[in-house]
Amino acid sequence: SSLPSSSGASLHGSAGGKVPLGLRRRALRVLVTGGAGFVGSHLVDRLVERGDSVIVVDNFFTGRKDNVAHHLANPRFEVIRHDVVEPILLEVDQIYHLACPASPVHYKYNPIKTIKTNVVGTLNMLGLAKRIGARFLLTSTSEVYGDPLQHPQVETYWGNVNPIGVRSCYDEGKRTAETLTMDYHRGANLEVRIARIFNTYGPRMCIDDGRVVSNFVAQALRKEPLTVYGDGKQTRSFQYVSDLVEGLMSLMEGEHIGPFNLGNPGEFTMLELAKVVQDTIDPNARIEFHPNTADDPHKRKPDITRAKELLGWEPKVPLHEGLPLMVTDFRKRIFGDQEA
C-alpha cells in the first residue's frame, strides 16, 4: 500500500505549499471501531485534530455518544451504529480496531458476545482491510500474558492463560484476534500492527464500569469506601490515556508490526493505588476489603524496551499527574458543572 511512512511525509499532501516538506502528509480516511468508547474517543480527537477524515463504528455497548458529540458538526466526522460481528463495507486507508468491552465487569456480562466480538468482529475488520488494502491496527491487551510467570512482561513471553476460565472470553479472544491478525498479514499480505495495551485510565471512562481506577475515584468522590479486592497486594501499572493514544498513532504510522507493549512501567499494589486516590481526593476515604474475582492476575508491569527503541515512544504522565485530570472529569459528571 502507499501509506505514509513513520515520518508522515507524503508528496501528495493536501496541506498546501507552506508546510515544510517533511511535515506534509496526505489527509487520511481512518476507521476507528469502538471509537465512542473511552480510548477510542481520545484517539478520534487526535485524528480529527491532525486533519484526517474519521469514521467511528460502534454498537454503544460501553461507548457513549457524548464522548464524540463535539465532532458531530464536523463534515470530516461520521459515526455509524454498527456491530462489528456483522460485516460492513467502507472505504478507508487505516483501521484502528478497538471495538470490544475492556472492563472485566462488562466483558464477563455476556462472554459469548465478547468472544464473538473478538473473533468474528476482528475477522470482519481484517476482511474489510484486505478488500480495500487498508493498514490494520489491533488493540490487544496485557491480558494475553494471563497470570504471568515472568515479570515484567516482555513481548516474547507467551503467557500463562486459563483457556476455560471466566476471563477467557477476553484474554483467549484477544489471543485469537492476534493470531488472525498475523495470519492475514502472512496469508493475505495485509499491513498490520499489534498493540498490547496495559491498564489505562483517564477522563471519559464509564463512571461505573467496574475497573479499579474508575471505581476508586468515583467511590472517593461519593464518600463511599474504596473497594479493594483480595488482599490488595496484587499489582497493576497504570497508563494515562494521552500516552496510549500517542503510542497507538506512532505504531500505526511506523514500520514495525509488533506486538508492542504500550503501558506505563510504574507499578502499584491496589493498596498503594488506594493511597494515591486518598491523597488526591479525600485522605479520610475508608478502605473496604472484598473477595477477589476468579483468575485475577497477581502482578502486571510492561517491559517497554521494544516500543522505546523501535517507536521512539514512552509514557510521559505519571499517576500522580494523570489522576487529578481524571478526577476533574469525574467530578463534573457525578455532581454536574456547578461543583466542578
- The CA–CA distances, whole Å, from 184 to 128, 178, 321 equal 11, 10, 40
Interface with ligand NAD (CB under 6 A), residue from 24, 28, 40, 216: 40
Query: Could you say which of ligand NAD, ligand UDP, none residue 215 binds, taking C-beta under 5 to 8 angstroms by partner kind?
Result: ligand UDP
Measured in degrees and rounded to the nearest 5, phi and psi for residue 81 equal -80, 110
39 close to 209: Cβ distance less than 8 angstroms: no
Q: Which is nearer to ligand UDP, 45 or 224 (CB)?
A: 224
DSSP secondary structure code for residue 282 in this structure? -
For the question of residue 201 being annotated catalytic, the response is no
Q: Sign of the C-alpha dihedral, residues 218, 241, 162, 296?
A: negative
Q: Which of residues 271-330 bind ligand NAD (CB under 6 A)?
A: none
Block residue for cell numbers 482491510: 129
CB 124 within 8 A of CB 90: no
Shortest distance, position 34 Cβ to ligand NAD, whole Å:
3
Q: Tell me the one-letter amino acid at 296.
A: D
Catalytic residue among 107, 170, 201, 240: 170
Phi, psi for 192 (deg, rounded to 5):
-130, 160
Q: How many residues bind ligand NAD (CB under 6 A)?
A: 28
Is there binding between residue 11 and ligand UDP (CB under 6 A)? no
Contacts of 284 (CB under 8 A, 6+ apart): 278
Cross-strand partners of 228: 289
Q: Which of 5, 74, 87, 335 binds ligand UDP (CB under 6 A)?
A: 87
* 200 lines the binding site for ligand NAD (CB under 6 A): yes
130 binds ligand UDP (CB under 6 A): yes
The three grid cell numbers given for residue 84, joined into one nine-digit string: 462489528
Catalytically active residues are: 170
Binding site for ligand NAD (CB under 6 A): 33-34, 36-40, 58-63, 83-85, 98-102, 117, 121, 139, 141, 197, 199-200
Binding site for ligand UDP (CB under 6 A): 87-89, 104, 123-124, 127-128, 130-131, 199, 211-212, 215, 227-230, 234, 236, 270, 292-293, 296
